[in-house]
Structure 1
Amino acid sequence: MLSVDTFKMVVSSTPLISIDLIIKDSAGRVLLGKRSNRPAQGDWFVPGGRVLKDELLEAAYLRLLYNELGVSSAVKAKFIGVYQHFYSDNFSGSDFSTHYVVLAYQLSLDGECLNLPNEQHSEYRWFKKEELLNCEQVHCHTKWYFQSGKAADFNLV
């Protein structure tokens, strides 16, 4: 693990690579968590996280399945695309921005198989596509995955 000062220097100087997990249930709803941490604190957002230094993408995906969803086995996912997320704030609250290069994956899971932790999100909720697109508390970066012309059509109810 990097020290806080070193990580602040990294975030202020370079983009971070992350994986977003777009979880769809059998009813076609999408799982969102209310962010506890900066950036996007207080907004509804898809689960996900950073890829660590020297970590294979496949290993990062499996780690995030476990850390973000409590899923301990591999789940087949569809790669949706690469996105760029820009935030005016950062994890530390200091005066610099955060830039993520995001690899987005869609997968299907039902709520019964999830063991949702509370480290990154204070609560979780299943949203229908129209509901999340119309909710002001859903972060715009999450909405991008579902807006026409910005992402693949997930055929969500």
Structure 2
Amino acid sequence: MQKRLDTALFKTIVANAPLISIDLIILDTNGMALLGQRQNRPAQNSWFVPGGRIFKDESFEKAFKRISKEELGFEISLSEATFIGVYEHFYEDNFSGLDFTTHYVVHGYKIQLDPKKLNLPHIQHNAYKWFDIRSLVENPSVHQYTKNYFLSR
């Protein structure tokens, strides 16, 4: 079982190295996209896709299952998703404040699912909303990095 790093060590890593993460581009059967309003830095208060970082010594498949469980309330296998590309996210802030930047190397995966399966937690996001793609792209509250997943399709 993987464990979360203590805050001081994690701050050192974020300040000095990129993080590797997985973002989940969730679509319902009508093509509506699920976004959550982020509570935490970076991208605080923006509408963003669910996702999370990969832990050290955690396989990609295990990370995918863990992140889907933590972010959506149920486990999804990597084989159920479609890889859409690798993206880079650069933020001027970090999870703890403004004293250093954050750099993510993000693997984007599209997943179509039935919204009734979702059991959405409120740890990273304080609200969730389904967006049609056009309104998502035009909405100034949706983070540009999230818009990029839909602009590149």
TM-score (normalizing by structure 2)? 0.94
2:149 partner letter: Y
TM-score (normalizing by structure 1)? 0.92
Q: Find the counterpart in structure 2 of residue 39 from structure 1.
A: 42
Verify: 1:59 aligned to 2:39, yes or no: no
Partners in 2 of 1:47 and 1:109 — Cα distance? 14
How many residues of Structure 1 are paired with residues of Structure 2 in the alignment?
Answer: 149
Partners in 2 of 1:73 and 1:25 — Cα distance? 15
- RMSD over aligned CA atoms reads 1.0
**Structure 1 residue 94: deviation in Å?**
3.9
Q: Find the counterpart in structure 2 of residue 120 from structure 1.
A: 124
- What does residue range 1-16 of structure 1 map to in structure 2 within 5 Å? 1-16=4-19
Partners in 1 of 2:47 and 2:76 — Cα distance? 25
Partners in 2 of 1:77 and 1:124 — Cα distance? 21
Higher helix fraction (1 or 2): 2
1:96 alignment partner, SS class:
coil
User: Which structure 2 residue ranges, 5 or more long, are not aligned?
Assistant: none
**Structure 1 residue 73: deviation in Å?**
4.7
Moved over 6 A (4+): none
Corresponding residue to 1:22 among 21, 25, 29? 25
Partners in 2 of 1:101 and 1:73 — Cα distance? 21
List per-residue Cα deviations over 1:43-72 (Å, max 9, x = no partner). Answer: 000000000000000100000110000113
Q: Find the counterpart in structure 2 of residue 144 from structure 1.
A: 148
List per-residue Cα deviations over 1:68-119 (Å, max 9, x = no partner). Answer: 0011353600000000000000000141000000000001112111000000
User: Which structure 1 residue ranges, 5 or more long, are not aligned?
Assistant: none
The alignment-based identity, stated in percent, is 54
